[in-house]
């Protein structure tokens, strides 16, 4: 039924009719605009990152994530980017097609092994003990793994999950891990994070290999960029659902792309999306992006059976979330309700914070304290209503202030280049004394070097991905103007639009709602294949320009 719902014959011949071309153009034009809008956003973010950066205040970083802005090493950043491009362009000129001579069956497993070893060594070195939210999730899962659901009746835990019932999905994930590896303690989820990161990178490689039509240049660049991206490795200590959710999301995207091209994989895509949302509800952004692609397919081809996977794309994650909550309510005898509504996170995202504008902050009646005498969900939401009303009035009275507020909010999220990968384990207790290497990474010159490396890599990712998206949009526009809009061209456009759509969704969501740089790591990873494509486009353009110049000189 699912494969029949696909309903797209990739072997269809061109109709050649103006009606078909106009219909296809109407579908593709919004994709071009999507790519341009996202490209402009990341060109701006890339330039802002070259000029300045946000970092944690050293005097407060072990207490809260208090961020401070500082000017960046502008000339160093520009020099690094130009040096990187110069070396790669030189390699393209001197060793053309070098990327085709690489044995990727050796290179990719080797890179994944290196990433896995580095992640494992870091996890074992710092022995990070879960605290705050992750401690609640871990302790709950550990109790459940021991067959004791009474922890839900503890006033503190009952209050927490009444506010945040969506966290039960992460509890379910941790319960499975602790049941399978009972002796691993809190290292078990962190090692699973390392495995999830390896699986995620493998998914990124598979996506770009298919999207680039087996262009090994783009695959090579994606692998290299992932090897140079150090933030995810240090992020593996965070006992939460982020990386497992991302692994499910990225393979769900791959399965959707496979379905668009081959008509197979939609079942797997829907299942993986459901678990991605369960582990981390931010994955709803990916689910919505998939739903939009399915809607485009249904309207363009008038294949109404596609409505089945379209509805299930939303219904399955929602059902799994609520099914897990229902299960825990049944075994514990506690009802958690629907939790806080999104307007609470909207209020936080509009409010000032001791961390940075729009970052997480407690609001009146929202304390997450240790007793059941704290504010109810209704009292918290009433407080959020007051904040939203007050902040809207202030923004309307002073648009300049509003612009400054959101500019600082956006840049403090996206221009904090570590994505909190150090802070998340630095502020926690450690199960053993820190080795000198870990101490140096946290506090020494190595930390300064790694921060600068991450700053450069994130800026480069933003700029090159913007170039990649702009190049894709221009390519699509050229085909549309030349009326080369066959089924394959439209399928290619839809396939390429998925990653930018998810990233744009993440940008908009965290601009409006609560902010933290840790939430953005997955979008950085989504950008890596597009950045690789951007570098490839620049390299091919440079080589073509050099060849034309040489031909012109010979003709003279």
pLDDT tens, position by position, 266-312:
999 999 999 999 999 999 999 999 999 999 888 876 777 889 999 99
Q: What is the mean pLDDT of residues 130-144?
A: 94
Does residue 24 surpass a pLDDT of 50? yes
Does residue 15 surpass a pLDDT of 50? no
Alpha helices in 229-376 (DSSP H): 231-235, 242-262, 266-279, 284-301, 307-332, 342-350
CB contact burial 270-306 (16+ within 10 A = b; e otherwise): bbbbbbbbbbbbbbbbbbbbbbbbbebbbebbebeeb
Q: CA angle, corner 133, sides to 338 and 354, nearest 5?
A: 100
Tens digits of residue pLDDT in 371-419: 344 678 888 888 899 999 999 999 999 999 999 999 999 999 999 999 9
What pLDDT, on the 0 to 100 scale, is given for residue 374?
Answer: 63
Does residue 510 surpass a pLDDT of 60? yes
CB contact burial 143-167 (16+ within 10 A = b; e otherwise): bbbeeebebbebeebbbbbbbbbbb
Give Cα 210 to chain centroid, integer Å: 20
Q: What is the mean pLDDT of residues 436-446?
A: 93
Give the bridge partners for 67, in sequence order.
56
Judge contact between 295 and 310, C-beta under 8 A.
yes
What pLDDT, on the 0 to 100 scale, is given for residue 480?
Answer: 78
Judge contact between 269 and 293, C-beta under 8 A.
no
Judge contact between 384 and 344, C-beta under 8 A.
yes
Structural domain span for residue 27: 2-555
pTM assigned to the model: 0.92
Q: What span, in angstroms and rounded, lies between the C-alpha atoms of 249 and 275?
A: 8
Residue among 260, 259, 254 nearest 273 (CA) = 254
Range of weakest confidence among 140-144, 286-290, 361-365: 361-365
Neighbours of 445 (CB within 10 A): 8
Total domains in the chain come to 1
Give the tokens for residue 88: 């790669």
Give the tokens for residue 369: 């304290």
């Amino acid at each position: 039924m699912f494969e029949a719902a696909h309903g797209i014959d990739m072997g269809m011949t061109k109709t050649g009719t103006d009606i078909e071309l106009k219909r296809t153009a109407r579908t593709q034009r919004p994709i071009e605009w999507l790519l341009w809008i996202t490209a402009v956003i990341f060109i701006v973010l890339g330039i802002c990152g070259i000029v300045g950066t946000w970092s944690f205040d050293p005097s407060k970083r072990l207490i809260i994530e208090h961020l401070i802005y500082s000017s960046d090493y502008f000339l160093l950043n520009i020099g690094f980017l130009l040096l990187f491009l110069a070396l790669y362009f030189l390699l393209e000129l001197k060793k053309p097609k070098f990327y085709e001579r690489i044995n990727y069956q050796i290179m990719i497993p080797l890179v994944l092994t290196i990433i896995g070893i580095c992640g494992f060594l870091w996890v074992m070195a710092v022995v990070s003990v879960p605290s705050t939210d992750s401690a609640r999730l871990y302790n709950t899962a550990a109790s459940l793994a021991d067959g004791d659901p009474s922890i839900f009746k503890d006033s503190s835990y009952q209050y927490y999950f009444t506010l945040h019932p969506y966290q039960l999905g992460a509890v379910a994930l941790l319960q499975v891990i602790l049941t399978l590896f009972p002796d691993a303690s809190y290292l078990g989820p962190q090692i699973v994070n390392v495995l999830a990161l390896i699986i995620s990178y493998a998914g990124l490689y598979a996506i770009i290999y298919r999207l680039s039509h087996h262009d090994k240049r783009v695959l090579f660049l994606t692998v290299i960029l992932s090897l140079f991206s150090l933030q995810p490795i240090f992020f593996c200590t965070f006992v939460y659902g982020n990386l497992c959710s991302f692994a499910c999301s990225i393979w769900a995207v791959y399965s959707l792309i496979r379905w668009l091209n081959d008509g197979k994989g939609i079942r797997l895509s829907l299942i993986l999306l459901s678990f991605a949302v369960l582990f981390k509800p931010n994955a709803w952004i990916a689910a919505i992006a998939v739903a939009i692609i399915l809607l485009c397919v249904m309207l363009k081809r008038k294949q109404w059976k596609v409505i089945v996977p379209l509805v299930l794309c939303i219904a399955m994650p929602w059902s799994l979330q609520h099914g897990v909550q229902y299960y825990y309510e049944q075994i514990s005898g506690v009802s958690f309700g629907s939790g806080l509504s999104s307007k609470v996170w909207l209020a936080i995202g509009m409010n000032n914070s001791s961390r940075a504008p729009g970052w997480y902050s407690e609001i009146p009646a929202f304390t997450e304290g240790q007793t059941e005498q704290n504010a109810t969900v209704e009292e918290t939401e009433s407080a959020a209503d007051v904040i939203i009303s007050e902040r809207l009035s202030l923004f309307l009275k002073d648009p300049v202030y509003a612009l400054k507020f959101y500019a600082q909010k956006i840049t403090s999220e996206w221009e904090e280049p570590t994505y909190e990968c150090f802070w998340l384990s630095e502020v926690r207790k450690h199960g053993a004394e820190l080795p000198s290497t870990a101490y140096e990474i946290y506090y020494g010159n190595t930390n300064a070097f790694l921060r600068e490396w991450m700053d450069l890599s994130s800026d480069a990712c933003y700029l090159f991905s913007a170039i990649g998206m702009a190049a894709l949009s221009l390519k699509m526009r050229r085909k549309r103007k030349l009326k080369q809009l066959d089924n394959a061209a439209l399928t290619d456009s839809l396939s390429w639009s998925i990653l930018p759509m998810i990233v744009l969704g993440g940008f908009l969501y965290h601009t409006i709602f609560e902010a933290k740089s840790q939430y953005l790591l997955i979008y950085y990873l989504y950008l890596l294949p597009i950045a690789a494509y951007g570098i490839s486009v620049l390299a091919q353009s440079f080589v073509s320009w050099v060849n034309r110049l040489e031909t012109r000189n010979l003709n003279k």
